[in-house]
Structures are given as C-alpha cells and as structure tokens.
C-alpha cells in the first residue's frame, strides 16, 4: 500500500506539471481532468497520512485508496490505448 501511495504521489506530480503548463485563463477539459485526478490522489495521500497519526479511521483510508486506485487504473488504461493507437498509425506501410 505504501508503494501505491508513492506511485500516486508521482502521478500527482504529473498533475502539477499539467496544471502549471496550461495557462490559467482558459480551463479546458484536459487540465480540468488532470486537476480532478490529482485531487483524488491528494485525498488518498492525506488519508494515508491521517491514518498513521490516528486521525482517519480504517474505512476512510480504504475508501480513499480504492478511489485513487480506480482513477489510476482509468488513466493508465486510457493512456495505453492512446499510445497503442499512435503506434498502430506509425506502423502503417507507406
């Protein structure tokens, strides 16, 4: 579970990069999605930290981690499909 939280923080960093790259004046769908994804991972991070200090109960931690896992799996799957489609296009004979 600790490794999953570490991976979650890494993807949260990706959210930060996306947030800073897009200009603040025009919130488009991609940056909104990245921000929501980063928020889900932040909640799991805080839940895990709160559980260590005793502020959050076990059920809160499990729920937050389950939602973070689901969001992570979604993003990974969608990214894999996009990359696979890109590679298929690259493989087309000229």
Contact 56, 47 (CB under 8 A): yes
Instruction: Please report how many Cα atoms fall inside a 13 Å half-sphere around the Cα of residue 7, on the Cβ side.
Output: 11
Contacts with other proteins, residue ranges (CB under 8 A):
36, 40, 57, 59, 63, 66-67, 70, 73-74, 77-78, 80-81
We find the least distance from the C-beta atom of residue 45 to other proteins, in angstroms, to be 18
| Secondary structure E strands in 1-94 | none
Cβ-contact 25, 51 below 8 angstroms: no
Identify which of residues 19 and 81 has a Cβ nearer to other proteins in the complex: 81
CB of 21 to other proteins, least distance (A): 22
- Closer by beta carbon to other proteins, 54 or else 94: 54
């Amino acid at each position: 579970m600790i490794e999953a939280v570490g991976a979650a923080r890494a993807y949260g960093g990706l959210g930060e990069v996306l947030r800073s790259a897009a200009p603040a004046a025009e919130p488009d769908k991609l940056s909104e999605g990245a921000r929501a994804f980063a928020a889900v991972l932040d909640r799991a991070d805080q839940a895990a930290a709160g559980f260590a200090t005793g502020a959050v109960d076990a059920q809160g931690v499990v729920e937050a981690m389950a939602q973070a896992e689901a969001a992570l799996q979604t993003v990974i799957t969608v990214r894999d499909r996009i990359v696979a489609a890109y590679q298929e296009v690259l493989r087309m004979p000229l």
